[in-house]
Structure 1
Amino acid sequence: MTTRAELDARYGVALEALQIAAKAKAPDLEECGLELQRLKIKLRESKRRLMERVEKPEWNSYPAPMDLPRSAEDERFVQSFGVDNAAAATAFYDKYGFVIFDDILDADECAATTAEIWSYLEEQHPGLQRDDEGTWEVLSAVRYGLPEAQAIFTPQVVANRQNQRLYAALDAILPRMPDSNGKFDSPHPDPNSIVMSQDRWCVYRPTIKNPDWKTAENLHLDVNPWTYAGLNPSEIETLSYSATESGGERFPLRDFRIEMTAVQGAPRSTGEHVQGVLNLLDNREQDGGTRLVPGFHRCFADWVNALGSPEDNLLQDGPYDNWLLRRSHGGASFKFSSQDPIHDLSRRAPLRAGSLLLWNQLVVHGSRANNSEAFRLGQFVRGFRAGEMTSDRAWARMRAVRHQLGSARLQLSSLAPHVFGLPENYSDEDAEPRFRHESGGQVQCQVALTPESLDP
């Protein structure tokens, strides 16, 4: 059977021949015209067949549709939990692949983060004013409300990464590491320390008056399915977190994004990772934001087996074709076609201001456009256990974080050793934190000045 690409090529050749024949004799012109007409009919038929729904084997592995339980206090929002109710929250997470924790940020912290985001945007976009709707046009809907920077290091954003309630929520959800028997070389004090991502935030503008401000809707996975399944190698442990050249620009923070998509489940697991968003404003169904496919984490392995090879999933030849967007170090994002029936299984997860939405990285997720008069603002977070990193990557990562925090003169908390690999009271950018296990299993921090600790 002639493929669409072959028909396109023949159509182009016939069109070129017709243009040449236009300067030649009438019989040649007529013959070229007939050939062009025949190809046009075949091309139209080929397009029609491509639009027909074709059952794909991986569709059979999708989870059954799941309705989400609503909050007993306010049915506008999905059921949520306090950080002190870890058992119920974990049971919900295991079933649905995500969970919402209440009151992670208080009202003052939400307001401070929101103000910080606006200050950043006003600095980056001259003429923008947070209180003047007429200036919001300068923001882009194409980037899903994300800043261009790969990671943001501003005071309140960094403070949120060290939030004790956020840490407790992640600690409740992430599986614990086995005992290291004292063999743990890391800037973090314990294999079960929660390492926090260095990420960014998003802003969705109100769209009632300006429909053009709506962001595109999508579903995806921030993981290479074949790498996670151990079928492709991951080079995540070779990340240096140093500046790289790309198109004449330097991207010292790009490795913080790469580490998210290059995670591996086998043969050497990088552990379970959870993604999340700290919600800064009440986020109703119509305000747009995160949507998820509940239960997908439990069918992930069967789905990968049904996909075939990575090479079979690199291009979107038809409207029902999904595709793999490859990234470095074995990472990738998997994109779902807008025609894929998985969209019928997705559910929005509305949540209150100050709440935290966490989801298993193996859960298909994406965004829904804002269809309201309200803003949507959130800070993205991600966490994993320190013991999942090799020693070399852990130290390289700490140096990159230290460089960013030191340059910005940002305040650290008592959780800094766990989330950043840095002591709370470090004062010299060249100070290298070293942790060692003492008798009784206690963990202590020392600061050692070494030439090797200089930032790259």
Structure 2
Amino acid sequence: MGILGNTRWLYPQACDNRQNVKIYQVFRTLFDDHELITNVTRAGLMRPTKDVYFPSLGKTEDRQNWKTMSNWLHLDMNPLTGRTTTYGFEYTAESHFEPSDDPLSAQNKSTNNGMRVRKLQAILALVDCRQQDGGFHAVPGFQHYIATWTKSNHKLCLRSNQSSDPTTVQIPWDDPIREHIQCMPIRKGSLLVWDSRLPHGNYPNSSNQMRIIQYLHMAPIADEALRPFPLLKEDLPETFQLTELGEKLYGFKSWESDLAQHRFQEQKNPEILCQVNYERLERAIMKDRCDTKTKNRSPVVEPTD
């Protein structure tokens, strides 16, 4: 699918991108709200599949088996329940993978606000992502018809609620909206933002170049469904310099409003705190293994005359 695992990208540049002023200004403008938080999530990568040069072989070859799923199209929300993906944030209600007990009345909960509150997702292109390099596609304008579509796909949304990922709806292969899919190549350094009510996905790489992006979402602190992912400053890279803006986006400091300060004092979700501790331990183990390999590596002996 072009998603690089489930590991949070905590590299210095990735962390810095989340506090980038220009990216923040984009979301601030679209939300018409300056008190925002950022998610902490992963990256996307698609290997080249055509005319790939292999130095060990001294030639180029195609790798069709490296291609990702074709025509993957989904919603990162369930329009019947109103639940939207919280990945990379701290969720405040049901777990990301927990179905709603009463899906027909789920939207009555203030946290299931996906059909009432604007939700935005985005990718940041880390290299030029040409159309032939694979990548993002979507059905533009669908958010204006999602209510009608939901009525026609009531059973699909009910089944999705009972699936392993109840905040995602996979669009059927025979759905006529697929006729309106548009591929969206983007230049290096560009930010592509879409409404969470938009069906979207990735299509395969058919070139000899890598496609690499960073998933990067922001949300207003007023969104009751979300809180900043509860990292500690010690979880961030040593070489990363947190800015004043970054302190607030990452949730280390509160924004100024009474609402923001109230939310800053809210009790953290114990399930998420357990997840954070597990990931912290996992990173420590990986670092220890890397350090051990480095220490055990044989020194390079320079040839003498």
Specify the TM-score bucket, using the shorter chain as the normaliser: 0.5 to 0.7
Which whole-Å deviations, capped at 9, do the CAs of 1:286-334 have from their partners, x for residues lacking one?
Answer: 11100000110110111112222457x53xxxxxxxx667357xx4211
Contact 1:203–1:375 under 8 Å retained in 2: yes
- Bigger radius of gyration, 1 or 2? 1
Q: Alignment partner of 2:92: what SS?
A: helix
- Structure 1 distance, partners of 2:180, 2:6, is 32
2:154 — aligned with what? 308
2:207 — aligned with what? 372
Which of 118, 121, 125 is equivalent to 1:275? 121
Higher relative contact order (CA 8 A, sep 6+): 2
2:76 — aligned with what? 222
Which whole-Å deviations, capped at 9, do the CAs of 1:233-280 have from their partners, x for residues lacking one?
Answer: xx95236xxxxxxxxxxxxxxx6x669x99x86552363111110011
Structure 2 gaps, min length 5: 51-61, 85-89, 266-272, 275-305
Q: Alignment partner of 1:301: what SS?
A: helix
Q: Give aligned pairs, total.
A: 238
Which of 111, 127, 131 is equivalent to 1:285? 131
Q: Alignment partner of 1:272: what SS?
A: coil
1:23-422 residue pairs with structure 2 within 5 A? 144-176=1-33, 192-208=34-50, 209-217=62-70, 218-228=72-82, 236-238=91-93, 268=110, 269=113, 271-309=117-155, 314=159, 326-327=163-164, 331-389=166-224, 394=227, 397=228, 400-402=230-232, 405-406=234-235, 408-409=237-238, 410-422=240-252
- Structure 2 distance, partners of 1:159, 1:307, is 41
Compared CA separation, residues 292 and 310, structure 1 to 2 (3 A)? closer
- Structure 1 distance, partners of 2:11, 2:107, is 33
Q: Alignment partner of 2:231: what SS?
A: helix
TM-score of the two chains, using structure 2 as the length reference: 0.67
- Structure 2 distance, partners of 1:299, 1:290, is 21
TM-score of the two chains, using structure 1 as the length reference: 0.46
Segments ≥4 residues shifted beyond 6 Å: none
Which whole-Å deviations, capped at 9, do the CAs of 1:100-153 have from their partners, x for residues lacking one?
Answer: xxxxxxxxxxxxxxxxxxxxxxxxxxxxxxxxxxxxxxxxxxxx2333334222
Counterpart AA for 1:174: F
Compared CA separation, residues 437 and 378, structure 1 to 2 (3 A)? closer
Contact 1:214–1:369 under 8 Å retained in 2: yes
RMSD: 3.5
- Structure 2 distance, partners of 1:351, 1:407, is 28
> How far does residue 345 in structure 1 lie from its aligned partner after superposition?
0.8
Contact 1:292–1:363 under 8 Å retained in 2: yes
